[in-house]
Structure 1
Amino acid sequence: MYAKLIIIRGNSSSGKTSLAMALKEQWGNTLVVSQDAVRREIIGCSDTKKNPAIEMIESLVSEAITKNDYVILEGILKRSTYYQMIERLMELYAPRSALYYLSVSFETTKCRHLEGLRVNEFSIEQMEQWWIAEDLLDYKSEMLVDGEVEQTDLIEQVMNYIKDN
């Protein structure tokens, strides 16, 4: 039996990584695949269409799905670049998959960035250039989630959905 696949998307500083790590802590046998880690740290490529990270992310998820109880893919995963990969993963691992988009305002994104660990990696101006409001995939099962709620509420919401489906 395959693991459950959870894909968490959203703008920078929307809480994707925090949610993924909190879920991993709750569930145990969980692998988190981070778009940033694969694209920036492992491959070192720009976030453009047909970048080599797309294939590697898809391969990592597909391999991990056979060895874990849960696999979480998290990242900005913008529609224009990652839609086809996400669609393939969702179809391949349905019905054991869930797709979330964490929605936060740019003001919240900015405040979280200034308080975060990566504050020196990029500027607010750079972040504003790649920030896309509500970059939804229009995929049938994508769930829009208010990323401005308390993290404990967000964790509970995701865990309840996964448990019930």
Structure 2
Amino acid sequence: MGSEVTRLVVVRGNSASGKSSVAAGIRDRFGRGLAVVGQDNLRRVVLRERDVPDGANIGLIDTVARYALDAGFHVVIEGILNAGRYGDMLAGLLGDHRGVSRCYYLDIPIEETLDRHSSKPDREYLAHVTERELRDWYRERDLLPEGVETVIGADSSLTDTVERIMRETGLEKAPTPPGTASHRFT
């Protein structure tokens, strides 16, 4: 799946840990030719599904990532992606991908998570997702097995985290897939 030049990046962590911001930052730095496969978008928006064991979104994330890699795109998968529910799917992707694959876990303490969540501009979302839910969902160091993830702590800024991932995955020098413009806004 994919090719020797495609990159597969997985960014995991608790709610409000910065996963979506990191994925958006990577895309902004790289430009076209990089697919962001967001768990929340596929699960909540496309399927309108709750996060349940063996949910349909697990297969959809897998399918979208594989399709994008086979089409020559670099892929960033981002989401909470609970290790118990999503670990087998992620292991399959990592094992099948022919190019560079890297996993990152954003390790943000619960108090910092609550602070970050409260700063979100979407008031409707804040009313729907409360501190109680965040505490219920929080899983300390929900790491994938076999040490496949690089843990990034709260002391790493968004810019530093994006730059680190760009460098460590080789995305900063990776080729733009054929057929995609390298300009961000075209």
Of 40, 45, 49, 2:44 maps to 40
Question: C-alpha offsets along residues 15-71 of structure 1, whole Å, 9 cap, x if unaligned?
Answer: 100000000011111110100111111111111110011011100000011224410
Unaligned runs of 5+ in 1: none
Pairing partner for 1:127 from 116, 126, 134:
134
Equivalent pairs, count = 165
Task: Give the TM-score of the pair, scaled to structure 2.
Answer: 0.83
CA RMSD in angstroms comes to: 1.7
Structure showing greater Rg:
2
- Aligned partner of 2:21 among 10, 18, 23: 18
How far apart, in 2, do the equivalents of 1:140 and 1:106 lie?
A: 22
Larger deviation, residues 65-74 vs 154-163: 65-74
Q: CA–CA distance in 2 between the matches of 1:134 and 1:92?
A: 25
TM-score by length of 1: 0.93
Partner of 1:72: 76
Deviations 1:66-122 (A, max 9, x none): 224410000000011101001001111155111110100000100000001342331
Instruction: Give the Cα–Cα distance (whole angstroms) in 2 for the partners of residues 120 and 68 of structure 1.
Output: 40
1:149 to 156, 159, 162: 156
Q: Sequence identity, in percent?
A: 28
1:28-107 residue pairs with structure 2 within 5 A?
Answer: 28=31, 29-107=33-111
Q: Is the 8 A contact 1:31 1:68 kept in 2?
A: no
> Secondary structure of 1:71's partner?
strand
**Runs of 4+, deviation exceeding 6 Å:** none
Deviates more, 1:137-146 or 1:103-112: 137-146
